[in-house]
């Protein structure tokens, strides 16, 4: 009797680090997949224990994940992904849909390392996926169709916002959505330190700064406004905000932020070429 193929209701993870954990947690919490239908592999038990705590199945065999799951997310470090794909390629079938979240590894590279006509996707997530507020983009390979793209997008939206984009945008997202988390944290820290300088207790200042960022982001997303419009809504003639904005302009905040995204994008493109 022929061996059964991979289960289309299972979701597999090759690599069990923080991003894999975040995506798995989002899928399970949103009811997109049952915990026992998730199978994760890693060389050691160090990260697999987090999947086990969620109720997921685990293994040390990457090939087992492919043999048992039709949708597999590769969440390894970029420098080991080529070796992992070479290892699992013999068990890849036409039923598989393979997704890479490894930064800097192109769709073309994925397709060259896998059997012909394999359906592949490249996804760029970010750290807020850990709290189901991620900003993700996805790009499809040559052989992935609309139905597969819709399926993947629907699943990933359990972890936040997910939009399909041309692959050329992925490196830009790495800078904006990925590195941008660090940029926003630096700005939040600076806001709080300004309040601390003026006499507010540190813990209170940091809580208010973070909540201000959260509330502002929700207003921008839910209202569909351009940031400039919301900024204008806060202004009053000769008020506190315009004095503060003047100070930010004098400090070059806008140009510095644009340069940070540009620098991070250029570095992402450089790493992709390597």
pLDDT tens-digit profile of 243-274? 999 999 999 999 999 999 999 999 988 887 77
Residue 7: predicted pLDDT = 64
Domains of the chain, with CATH numbers?
A: 7-165 (3.40.50.720), 173-273 (1.10.3730.10)
Q: Is 62 annotated as a binding residue?
A: yes
pLDDT at 2: 38
Residue 197 known to bind ligand: no
Structure confidence at residue 5 as a pLDDT band (50, 70, 90): low
Is the pLDDT confidence value at 217 over 90? yes
Across the chain, mean pLDDT equals: 93
Average pLDDT over residues 75-104: 94
Residue 216 counted as an annotated binding residue: no
pLDDT value at residue 6: 75
- In this structure, the strands spanning 38-41 and 69-74 are unpaired
pLDDT at 1: 34
Residue pLDDT, tens place only, 143-159:
999 999 999 999 999 99
pTM, rounded to two decimals: 0.86
167: pLDDT strictly greater than 60 = yes
Query: What would the mean pLDDT of 100-116 be, rounded to a whole number?
Result: 94
What's the rounded mean pLDDT across residues 207-218?
97
Tell me the average pLDDT across 26-34.
91
Q: Is the model's pLDDT at 229 over the cut of 50?
A: yes
Confidence of residue 8 (pLDDT cuts 50, 70, 90): low
257 known member of a binding site? no
Residue 15 is predicted with a pLDDT of 96
Average pLDDT over residues 39-58: 95
Do residues 210 and 189 make contact, with C-beta atoms less than 8 angstroms apart?
no
Q: What pLDDT score does 159 carry?
A: 92
How confident is the model over 6-25, as a mean pLDDT? 89
Residue 146 assigned to a binding site: no
pLDDT tier at 198 (50, 70, 90 boundaries)? very high
């Amino acid at each position: 009797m022929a061996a059964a193929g991979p289960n289309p209701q299972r979701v597999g993870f090759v690599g069990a680090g923080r991003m894999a954990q975040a995506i798995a947690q989002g899928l399970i919490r949103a009811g997109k997949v049952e915990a026992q239908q998730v199978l994760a592999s890693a060389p050691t038990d160090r990260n697999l224990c987090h999947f086990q705590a969620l109720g997921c199945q685990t293994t040390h065999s990457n090939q087992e994940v492919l043999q048992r799951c039709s949708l597999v997310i590769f969440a390894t470090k970029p420098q080991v992904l080529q070796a992992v794909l070479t290892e699992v390629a013999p068990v890849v079938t036409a039923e598989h849909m393979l997704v890479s979240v490894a930064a800097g590894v192109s769709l073309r590279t994925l397709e060259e390392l896998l059997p012909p006509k394999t359906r592949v996707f490249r996804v760029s997530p970010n750290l807020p996926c850990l709290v189901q507020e991620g900003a993700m983009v996805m790009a499809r390979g040559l052989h992935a169709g609309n139905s597969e793209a819709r399926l993947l997008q629907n699943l990933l939206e359990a972890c936040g916002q997910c939009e399909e984009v041309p692959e050329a945008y992925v490196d830009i997202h790495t800078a904006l959505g990925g590195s941008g988390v660090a940029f926003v944290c630096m700005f939040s820290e600076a806001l709080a330190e300004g309040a601390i300088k003026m006499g507010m207790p540190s813990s209170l200042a940091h809580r208010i700064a973070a909540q201000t960022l959260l509330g502002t982001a929700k207003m921008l997303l839910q209202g569909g406004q351009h940031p400039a419009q919301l900024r204008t809504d806060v202004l009053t003639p000769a008020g506190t905000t315009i004095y503060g904005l003047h100070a930010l302009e004098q400090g070059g905040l806008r140009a510095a932020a644009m340069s940070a995204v540009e620098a991070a994008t250029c570095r992402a493109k450089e790493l992709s070429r390597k």
